[in-house]
């Protein structure tokens, strides 16, 4: 762990469905808290990228399990400069490509992959000490003992519209549904990110703008952890 007093340590876990604002809101909350930021989804994307590059059959559970164990993944935890390296190669942009987004659920539903990545994520949280970690199972599996646990959500039509706007409305309704609703459907076969578990606070951003959502999350962190977030 870095040089931090006990009072400075703070673990915030945020999960929720696709397009709910997990990554953008978590990054901004991390900046305002002077905390690190862990994008757990980037790790699933990195493994998927590595498997695709090696030409592996993503449905071959054993081959993918072996690949994750061998995967050399480096992830920076600065909310201002995120970099992802696989085997020393910078794949920060490539892991966001549609071929990875379309394939990642197949890898993320492999339980051996989840076990391996959850262990790496816990180690990253422990190493940082003061951190906002986001991803579909962070409040329930990765960091159930976090100081603050939030399920960030928004109505489906709002999430679809936000993702559409993010992509300059270049996608058809069908393509958007694939990237948001269908991915959630497949992911939810192994993780529950639609209902708040006991002790997890629901923040619904459907009728909030970005800044209001950040404020709502900061207020929830203060309430749950007792930390000063203003």
Ligand X SMILES: Nc1ncnc2c1ncn2[C@@H]1O[C@H](COP(=O)(O)OP(=O)(O)OP(=O)(O)O)[C@@H](O)[C@H]1O
Q: Does 140 bind ligand L45E5XJ5 (CB under 6 A)?
A: no
Considering only residues 26, 105, 171, 205, which one is a binding residue for ligand L45E5XJ5 as defined by CB under 6 A?
105
Q: How far is the CB of 214 from ligand L45E5XJ5 (least distance, A)?
A: 18
Q: How far is the CB of 11 from ligand L45E5XJ5 (least distance, A)?
A: 15
Applying the rule CB under 6 A, the residues between 181 and 210 that interact with ligand X are 205, 208-210
| Residues 7-36: x where in contact with ligand X by CB under 6 A, - otherwise, as a string | ---------x-xxxxxxxx-----------
Among 159, 146, 229, which Cα is nearest to 194's?
A: 159
Binding-residue total with ligand L45E5XJ5 (CB under 6 A): 15
With beta carbons less than 8 A apart as the criterion, state whether 193 and 137 touch.
yes
| Cα(52)–Cα(208) distance, integer angstroms | 38
Residue 197 DSSP one-character state: P
**Cβ distance to ligand L45E5XJ5 smaller for residue 20 or 229:** 20
Residue 36 DSSP one-character state: E
Among 27, 32, 37, 34, which Cα is nearest to 7's?
A: 34
């Amino acid at each position: 762990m870095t040089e931090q007093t006990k009072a400075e340590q703070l673990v915030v876990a945020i999960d929720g469905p696709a397009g709910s604002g997990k990554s953008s809101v978590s990054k901004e909350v991390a900046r305002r808290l002077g905390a690190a930021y862990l994008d757990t989804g980037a790790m699933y994307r990195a493994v998927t990228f590595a498997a695709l590059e090696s030409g592996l059959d993503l449905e071959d559970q054993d081959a993918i399990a072996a690949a994750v164990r061998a995967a050399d993944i480096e992830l920076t935890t600065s909310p201002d400069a995120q970099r992802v390296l696989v085997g020393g190669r910078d794949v920060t942009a490539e892991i966001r490509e549609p071929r990875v987004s379309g394939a990642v659920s197949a890898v993320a539903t492999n339980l051996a992959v989840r076990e391996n990545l959850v262990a790496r994520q816990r180690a990253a949280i422990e190493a940082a000490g003061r951190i906002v970690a986001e991803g579909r199972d962070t409040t329930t599996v990765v960091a159930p003992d976090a100081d603050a646990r939030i399920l960030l959500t928004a109505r489906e039509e709002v999430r679809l519209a936000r993702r559409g706007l993010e992509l300059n409305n270049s996608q058809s309704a069908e393509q958007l549904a694939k990237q948001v609703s269908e991915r959630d459907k497949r992911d939810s076969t192994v993780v529950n990110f639609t209902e708040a578990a006991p002790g997890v606070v629901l923040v619904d951003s459907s009728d909030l703008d970005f800044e209001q959502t950040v404020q709502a999350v900061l207020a929830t962190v203060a309430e749950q952890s007792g930390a000063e977030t203003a």
